[in-house]
Amino acid sequence: MKLDLFGVQTDAQPFAEAVDRLAEWSVETQARRYVCTCPVYTLMMCYERPPVMAAVNGADMVTADGVPVVWLQRKRGATMAERVYGPDVMQALCERTANTPARHYFWGGENGVAAALAAQLRSQAAGLQVAGSYSPPIAPLGSEPDASAISRLNDSGADVIWVGLGSPKQDLWMAQHRPYLNAPLLIGVGAAFDMLAGVKKQAPRWMQRTGLEWLFRLLQEPGRLGKRYLIYNPKFLWLTFRTYGW
């Protein structure tokens, strides 16, 4: 079920249904799809920046990555909506496709994180096929697709490319590179790289369920995430009240 939130065409869906669809898409070799995971911050970036809105709305699936996004979907009538959270999606899909021909590539994170992530997931999901991993240098997104990235990823024979560049960069990167990549499926999962590689801690489940994950992450990284949460969370609440009421 597609649901418009401030102009962003999100998918309101149960978690299991989302994973089922992604598993199907991972083996549809003639298809060329990409998936954006969408927390509050990404919604606000779409609202403020038309290129981000275009990139996210160009995706084949836009998941409710944050609990407040799920709450808003339910408020708008999608009572079946559940959180489809990047780290959980990555673990579930890797487990689902273990011992199948599906080959996974991990593209993103700081130096060494992608390799550590691949090793960790392979240890958790015996039989997981890893096509490769790479942590590209941190740099602004170029105005043209990166030819070396395209060659590296296509030469790997990957079927699923996990993109961990942070939002909105990863959303723009997928939209820009999708036409040139052979893998059937690209999935942007942001901080899932750090969390599942063990570089950063995930919030306890009770904080995730109650919408307090942002506080946990803010206390971990106040310098990097202060603007994201202290400016954009209130802006989200204000827009929600103005647009949809309480």
Q: pLDDT 10s per residue in the chain (246 long)?
A: 999 999 999 999 999 999 999 999 999 999 999 999 999 999 999 999 999 999 999 999 999 999 999 999 999 999 999 999 999 999 999 999 999 999 999 999 999 999 999 999 999 998 999 999 999 998 899 999 999 999 999 999 999 999 999 999 999 999 999 999 999 999 999 899 999 999 999 999 999 999 999 999 999 999 999 989 999 999 999 999 999 876
Q: Cβ–Cβ contacts within 10 Å for residue 77, how many?
A: 10
Q: Is 169 helix (H, G, I), strand (E, B) or coil?
A: helix
- Contact criterion met (CB below 8 Å) for 199 and 47: no
Q: Indicate the DSSP class of residue 165.
A: S
Place of tokens 């994201």: 228
Phi, psi of 167 (to 5 degrees): -90, 140
Query: Cα angle vertex 144, ends 150, 130, to 5°?
Result: 20
Q: Indicate the DSSP class of residue 141.
A: P
Phi-psi region of 157 (alpha: psi -120 to 50; beta: other; left: phi over 0): left
Per residue, what are the HEC states of 178-219?
HHHCCCCEEEECCCHHHHHHCCCCCCCHHHHHCCCHHHHHHH
Pairing of strands 2-5, 103-108: unpaired
- Contact criterion met (CB below 8 Å) for 219 and 188: no
- Contact criterion met (CB below 8 Å) for 160 and 185: yes
At residue 245, the pLDDT reads 79
* Distance of alpha carbon 165 from the chain centroid: 9
